[in-house]
């Protein structure tokens, strides 16, 4: 296995193979077999572009040969940062075919995240848009190429000015060549963890495990070639890419429609025009869709299932989804690390509205564990631990972190608090990991704190989530100033200059003289968060003067 990855335990790997979960298939060969099966059916739609399975597979062949001609080969890591466009799946499958390993980056990532991903993965290449949503990715890419020693080539989607040392993606094209088949037990690509530590961790996903995850998620949902999946959220999210998402839909012979944004205007038009049957949303976007559906002229009747996950879904919002959109709601609890739990079509309504369903595989092992490390009594709340055929065995190049992130018998400590109903359904009750879920975006408190501490006016920093009706949570930075107190605008600008993605910037600043401490002498974030919640309920005049400072 790729250096820096933790191989699965031998006895588990044997069981996963014996049970038919891992079939020894690689994702490149799977695409080839899907292209044989569904040759002339539409695989991908984006704007005016429509690609059949045959065309997609042929494009992947030529791209793979083109990447090879540009010096990429098996085992090379390639950071892929692309918007929702056919190039995203085409590039990823081409890299799979070549045995190279994509590292998924969000389009919102900036210098701080990209620099880290490129360095940690020792990427040989970086695939990026020339620009996206007003940001000049190419300029940043050229700078990073000078800074990161391993990085040799930039492949760019969109216009590249003459004389720029970067390769336009549409010129990555060569006669297909015979390539060795990738090893199914090898890492196919890296997803990113929402992260509890200062920097995002890389999650290795193997061909075997992801083929199994996407196939199973598609089977649980009864996907067929008549299904049309709308990739409304960013395609690089595990939720959109493979739960069952893009890959599961292609595996079932259906059609994937790529939306430029999850905004209801765009998406409702696509649902009507393309006959979309299912999609996946985070709760914040679902709320937008519900509001828009009241006045939308578009016909959404083909839409059968809307998956909602990635962040807590309030039961009141859950109850509005079916009647408001004329669809079946599926609650999804999932993580890029692996475990997926879905409500099912035949679940009682109460369960669909108030639980996150059951794990999708009989091979998923789940434990709910108390602070003492022992399993809690049935129905009680504790930390969710899991192990299974598509759950990671360790983060990439993170030996020390892995020692605490996993139990001695290889269960992943999710950092989520959950309970199990008598019927075996999971209910997510909160989290103990230091992550803020803003909309559906995961923000590691430690990462933001690290950047804040670099500011000369910040002596100490603690970042906590504050409840927000719209986004679920927003980011509040508590700061003990060093001299002249900083302002929120000043801090945001400083973090932006440090290259931090916009969605991680604090929404609120609270200046304090000191932090409350726990009995163990750690910053007591619970007390800080409780102070915020209390302030939110005080009349405006009082909270403007009072509050934690």
Contacting positions for ligand AMP (CB under 6 A): 194, 238, 309-312, 331-336, 356, 414, 416, 428, 431, 437, 442
Cβ closest to ligand AMP, residue 88 vs residue 239: 239
Cβ closest to ligand AMP, residue 92 vs residue 418: 418
Closest separation between CB of residue 368 and ligand AMP, Å?
14
Q: Report the candidate in 170, 200, 173 with the shortest Cα–Cα distance to residue 105.
A: 200
Cβ closest to ligand AMP, residue 431 vs residue 474: 431
**For residue 423, which phi and psi values (nearest 5 degrees)?**
-90, 5
Distances (CA, A) of 289 to 81, 237, 298, 345, 492: 27, 19, 12, 21, 30
Cβ closest to ligand AMP, residue 367 vs residue 431: 431
CA torsion 97→80→401→380, rounded to 10°? -90
Beta bridge partner(s), residue 112: none
Cβ closest to ligand AMP, residue 55 vs residue 441: 441
Cβ closest to ligand AMP, residue 146 vs residue 316: 316
Closest separation between CB of residue 337 and ligand AMP, Å?
6
Closest separation between CB of residue 546 and ligand AMP, Å?
32
Cβ closest to ligand AMP, residue 274 vs residue 383: 383
Closest separation between CB of residue 309 and ligand AMP, Å?
4
Beta bridge partner(s), residue 52: 42
Closest separation between CB of residue 314 and ligand AMP, Å?
10
Rounded to whole angstroms, the Cα distance separating 276 from 272 reads 7
Closest separation between CB of residue 194 and ligand AMP, Å?
4
Cβ closest to ligand AMP, residue 249 vs residue 386: 386
Cβ closest to ligand AMP, residue 51 vs residue 332: 332
Are 45 and 89 in contact by the 8 Å Cβ rule? The answer is: no
Q: End-to-end distance of the chain based on CA atoms, in angstroms?
A: 52
Closest separation between CB of residue 87 and ligand AMP, Å?
23
Helix axes 27-37, 53-69, angle to 10 degrees: 140
Q: What is the DSSP string of 209-252?
A: HHHHHHHHHHHHTT--TT-EEEE-S-TTSHHHHHSSHHHHHHHH
Cβ closest to ligand AMP, residue 99 vs residue 194: 194
- Tally of CB atoms within 10 A around 176: 15
Closest separation between CB of residue 239 and ligand AMP, Å?
6
Environment class of 328 (CB within 10 Å of its CB; exposed 0-12, middle 13-18, buried 19+)? middle
Q: Report the candidate in 176, 157, 175 with the shortest Cα–Cα distance to residue 166.
A: 157
Closest separation between CB of residue 238 and ligand AMP, Å?
6
Closest separation between CB of residue 350 and ligand AMP, Å?
17
Cβ closest to ligand AMP, residue 189 vs residue 515: 189
Cβ closest to ligand AMP, residue 53 vs residue 189: 189
According to DSSP, the β-strands at 42-46 and 49-52 are antiparallel
Are 243 and 307 in contact by the 8 Å Cβ rule? The answer is: yes
Are 52 and 37 in contact by the 8 Å Cβ rule? The answer is: no
Cβ closest to ligand AMP, residue 28 vs residue 206: 206
Contacts 24+ apart (CB under 8 A), 92-96: 92/189, 93/27, 93/28, 93/31, 93/56, 93/60, 94/59, 94/60, 94/61, 94/63, 94/64, 94/66, 94/67, 95/64, 95/67, 95/189, 96/26, 96/27, 96/28, 96/31, 96/182, 96/188, 96/189, 96/207
CA torsion 398→403→405→408, rounded to 10°? 140
Closest separation between CB of residue 124 and ligand AMP, Å?
26
Closest separation between CB of residue 548 and ligand AMP, Å?
26
Closest separation between CB of residue 28 and ligand AMP, Å?
25
Rounded to whole angstroms, the Cα distance separating 167 from 76 reads 17
Tell me the chain's radius of gyration from C-alpha atoms.
Answer: 23
Q: Can you read off the two tokens belonging to residue 474?
A: 């927003």
Q: C-alpha angle with apex 484: 480 to 489, nearest 5 degrees?
A: 80
């Amino acid at each position: 296995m790729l250096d820096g990855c933790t191989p699965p335990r031998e006895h588990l790997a044997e069981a996963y193979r014996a049970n038919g979960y891992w079939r020894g298939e690689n994702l490149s060969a799977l695409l080839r077999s899907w292209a044989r099966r569904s040759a002339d059916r539409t695989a991908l739609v984006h704007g005016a572009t429509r690609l059949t399975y045959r065309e997609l597979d042929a494009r992947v062949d030529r791209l793979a040969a083109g990447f090879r001609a540009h010096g990429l080969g098996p085992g090379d890591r390639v950071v892929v940062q692309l918007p929702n466009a056919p190039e995203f799946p085409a590039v990823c499958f081409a890299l799979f075919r070549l045995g190279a390993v994509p590292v998924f980056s969000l389009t919102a990532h900036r210098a701080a995240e990209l620099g880290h991903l490129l360095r940690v993965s020792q990427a040989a290449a970086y695939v990026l848009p020339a620009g996206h949503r007003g940001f000049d990715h190419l300029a940043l890419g050229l700078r990073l190429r000078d800074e990161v020693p391993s990085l040799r080539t930039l492949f760019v989607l969109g216009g590249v000015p003459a004389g720029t040392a970067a390769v336009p993606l549409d010129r990555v094209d060569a006669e297909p060549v015979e390539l060795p088949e990738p090893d199914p037990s090898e890492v196919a690509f890296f997803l990113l963890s929402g992260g509890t530590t200062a920097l995002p961790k890389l999650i290795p996903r193997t061909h075997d495990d992801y083929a199994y995850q996407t196939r199973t998620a598609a089977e649980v949902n009864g996907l067929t070639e008549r299904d049309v999946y709308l990739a409304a959220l960013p395609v690089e999210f595990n939720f959109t890419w493979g739960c069952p998402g893009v890959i599961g839909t292609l595996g079932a012979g259906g059609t994937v429609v790529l939306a430029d944004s999850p905004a209801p205007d765009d998406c409702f038009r696509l649902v009507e025009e393309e006959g979309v049957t299912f999609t996946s949303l985070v709760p914040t976007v679902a709320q937008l869709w519900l509001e828009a559906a009241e006045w939308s002229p578009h016909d959404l009747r083909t839409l059968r299932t809307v998956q909602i996950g990635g962040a807590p879904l309030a039961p009141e919002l859950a109850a509005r989804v079916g009647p408001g959109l004329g669809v079946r709601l599926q609650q999804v609890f999932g993580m890029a690390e692996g475990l997926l739990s879905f409500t099912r079509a035949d679940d009682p309504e109460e369960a669909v509205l108030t639980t996150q369903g059951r794990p999708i595989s009989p091979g998923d092992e789940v434990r709910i564990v108390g602070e003492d490390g022992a399993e809690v009594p049935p129905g009680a709340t504790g930390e969710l631990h899991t192990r299974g055929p598509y759950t990671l065995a360790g983060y990439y190049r993170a030996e020390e972190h892995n020692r605490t992130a996993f139990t001695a018998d290889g269960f992943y400590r999710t950092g989520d608090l959950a309970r199990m109903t008598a019927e075996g359904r999971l209910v997510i009750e909160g989290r103990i990991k230091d992550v803020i879920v803003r909309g559906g975006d995961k923000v590691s408190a430690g990462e933001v704190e690290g950047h804040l501490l670099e500011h000369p006016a910040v002596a100490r920093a603690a970042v906590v989530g504050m409840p927000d009706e719209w986004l679920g949570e927003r980011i509040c930075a508590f700061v003990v100033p060093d001299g002249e107190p900083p302002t929120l605008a000043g801090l945001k600008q400083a973090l932006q200059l440090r290259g931090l993605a916009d969605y991680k910037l604090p929404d609120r600043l609270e200046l304090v003289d000191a932090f409350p401490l726990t009995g163990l002498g750690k910053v007591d974030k619970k007390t800080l968060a409780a102070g915020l919640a209390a302030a939110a309920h005080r009349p405006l005049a009082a909270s403007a003067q009072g509050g934690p400072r």
